[in-house]
Structure 1
Amino acid sequence: MSKVLLVEDEELNRVLVRAILARASDDAVRTVELVEAGSLAGARTALADGPVDVVLLDVNLPDGNGLTLAADLRERADRPQVIALTASVLPHERAAAMSAGCDAFLDKPYAAQALVDLLSSHLGR
């Protein structure tokens, strides 16, 4: 079973992701172990507890920019795939996310199937 870390400060968005994953038609996505963090500090604590396969990363967090976490993860031997989930969709913002170490970018608001498809393509890499 794959482990996914969702880093998202908005509770409603976390509820939405949980619901999308629970209803996914893709077995690999539906059965992921989902760990949640509402801040960068929470994400770092979750990552210290053990490796994850994929990080679903909000860029704008209350205690900093999620791209700093993406850059830190790029240096890890057990580097997870990082998918930025953000409403920051300007071309330079997308480029900054990819430069920081994100493997993919999904604009908010996103369709449920788009999240499932993107997550599915990054599990097991």
Structure 2
Amino acid sequence: MSRVLLVEDEELNRVLVRAIISRAEPPAVRGLDLLEAGSLADARDALAAEPVDVVLLDVNLPDGNGLELAAELAEAPARPTVIALTASVLPHERAAAMAAGCDAFLDKPYAAADLVTILATHLS
């Protein structure tokens, strides 16, 4: 079973991701183990406790910029896939996310099918 860490400070967005995953058609997505963190500090704690396969990473968090965590993970020996989920969609913001070590970028608001597709792609 794949393990995914959702780093998102907005509870409503976490609820939405949980609902999308629970209804996803691909078994790899529907059956994944979803961990959640509401801040960079919580994300770092979760990652120190157990490895994950994918990090769904909000960029604008209350205790810093999610791209800091993406850059840290880019240097990790057992590096998870990092997917930026953000409303910051200008070309230079997308380029900054990719330069920080993100593997993919999904802009908010996103369609449920887009989240499922990107997860299925990176979990296979």
Shared fold, TM over 0.5:
yes
Output aligned runs, 1:1-125, within 5 Å.
Answer: 1-124=1-124
Paired-residue identity, %: 77
In structure 2, what is the Cα distance between the partners aligned to 1:78 and 1:123? 15
Structure 2: which 5+ runs fail to align? none
Give 1:50 shift. 1.1
In structure 2, what is the Cα distance between the partners aligned to 1:122 and 1:85? 14
Aligned residues: 124
Give 1:48 shift. 0.5
In structure 1, what is the Cα distance between the partners aligned to 2:112 and 2:10? 17
In structure 2, what is the Cα distance between the partners aligned to 1:86 and 1:25? 24
In structure 2, what is the Cα distance between the partners aligned to 1:122 and 1:77? 18
In structure 2, what is the Cα distance between the partners aligned to 1:122 and 1:84? 13
In structure 1, what is the Cα distance between the partners aligned to 2:119 and 2:61? 21
SS in 2 for 1:89: coil
For residues 69-94 of structure 1, the C-alpha deviation after alignment (integer angstroms, 9 at most, x for no partner) is 00000011110000000000000000
Using the size of structure 2 for normalisation, the TM-score is 0.99
In structure 2, what is the Cα distance between the partners aligned to 1:60 and 1:78? 25
Structure 1: which 5+ runs fail to align? none
4+ runs deviating over 3 angstroms: none
SS in 1 for 2:52: coil
Using the size of structure 1 for normalisation, the TM-score is 0.98
- 1:73 partner letter: L
In structure 2, what is the Cα distance between the partners aligned to 1:26 and 1:77? 29
SS in 2 for 1:9: coil
